[in-house]
Amino acid sequence: MGCIVLSTRVYFVQSSVVINFVRGTSSTQHRLFRQLVADSEEATHDDLLLHNDVRWLSKGKALDRFCALLGEVKAFLISSKSKTAADHLVFLEDEKFMSNVAFLTDIFGHLNNLNMQLQGKDKTIVDMVERLQAFTVKLGLLESDISTGRLLHFSTLKTQARRVTGLMGDFIKQLRANFSSRLEDFSVPNEVIAFVRDPLTTRPSGEFSTLVKTILPSLDEAKFEMELIDFQTTSLIKDAFRSAESLSAFWVACSEEYSTIKNLAFYVLTMFPFTYTCESAFSSMNAIKTYERNRLTHTNLENCLRISVTNVTPDIRSIVANERGQFSH
């Protein structure tokens, strides 16, 4: 996949060079471009976006804005008198180049949607596996969409270029293979993930209990199989599963009578599938511990951080009612 990635990177880097030329050459040039965009009746945005490796989703958003303002960028380069602008214009007039750029815009958009679905609180490893499996199937659909030329899922490519190159199909094929290989290396079997997601559909068997024991060596297989039969035949469990607010809430409220099954569910659900929680905590800490609060103690910082990242909503009225008021003498 290295050669394909290198080829696609060339198109992205060249697009970034054009963006940097328009925005970063001088403040006067950037101001003139913004004025041109403001005067344009067809412009859907007011400026280009710079790509930033630190910010996630940046590549897709920068390319999307670049393609949306392509007409204005061309007009600005034509009006410019520099040789660099003329050199950049050659790339933008190249049909193959712009087709590949439009393709990257659409494929980065699909990847950004996947990233957005994987972010957020209360996400479990079950959610991650399901999203990745669904995206792997979607990649097969995208590959077929490209090969047939329908371009139903490539709106930018369809509206701005409509030329399909060999690089596009190869890129999606390799991307799909990459996602599939990553799922194969996952430590928790798919059967266990499916059981935690819907424990009422898995049939009790020696093969399944043996599979569970591979990830939980301390498991008592005999007890697990007996608990699973009682678990799936109890109407209270079925009603609780259907009415539960979330998967985690169901397993937390599950009776300790099925402790072996609960241990398996907790083992899976307590895995950290993403770095979102950690990164959001660091962002909260940076917002709390500023230069103006350089004397903030570690204890107070921990308390402020705990309040910042918790999902618990305090009952202010109850707290105030239980406190004794201080009266002046």
Residue type, 65: R
Same domain, 50 and 79: yes
Are residues 156 and 87 part of one domain?
yes
Expressed as residue numbers, the domain containing 148 is: 2-184
Q: Are 145 and 250 part of one and the same domain?
A: no
The reply to whether 78 falls in a domain is yes
Domains in the chain, number:
3
Please give the C-alpha separations between residue 269 and each of 122, 172, 273, in angstroms, as whole numbers. Answer: 10, 31, 9
Please choose, from the candidates 271, 265, 293, 292, the residue with its C-alpha nearest in 3D space to the C-alpha of residue 187. Answer: 271
Q: Do residues 177 and 296 both lie within one domain?
A: no
Give the integer Cα–Cα distance in Å for 327 and 296. Answer: 30
* 212 and 288 both lie in a single domain: no
pLDDT tens digits for range 52-79 = 776 667 888 999 999 999 999 999 999 9
Q: Are residues 108 and 250 in the same domain?
A: no
Angle at 60 between CA 58 and CA 61, to 5 degrees: 65
In contact, 36 and 48? CB cutoff 8 Å: no
Q: Which of 215, 237, 269 is the last residue of a domain?
A: 269
85 and 229 both lie in a single domain = no
Q: How far apart are CA 84 and CA 25, in angstroms?
A: 11
Say if 53 falls within a structural domain: yes
Tell whether 17 and 109 lie within a shared domain. Answer: yes
Instruction: Answer yes or no: is 197 within a domain.
Output: no
CB atoms within 10 A of CB 224: 21
List the one residue out of 287, 319, 326, 322 whose CA is nearest residue 305: 287
Q: Which of 32-36, 46-50, 124-128, 318-322 has the lowest mean pLDDT?
A: 318-322
pLDDT tens for each residue of 190-216: 888 889 998 888 887 788 888 888 888
Amino acid letter, 176 = R
**DSSP label at residue 249:** H
Assigned domain for 327 exists: no
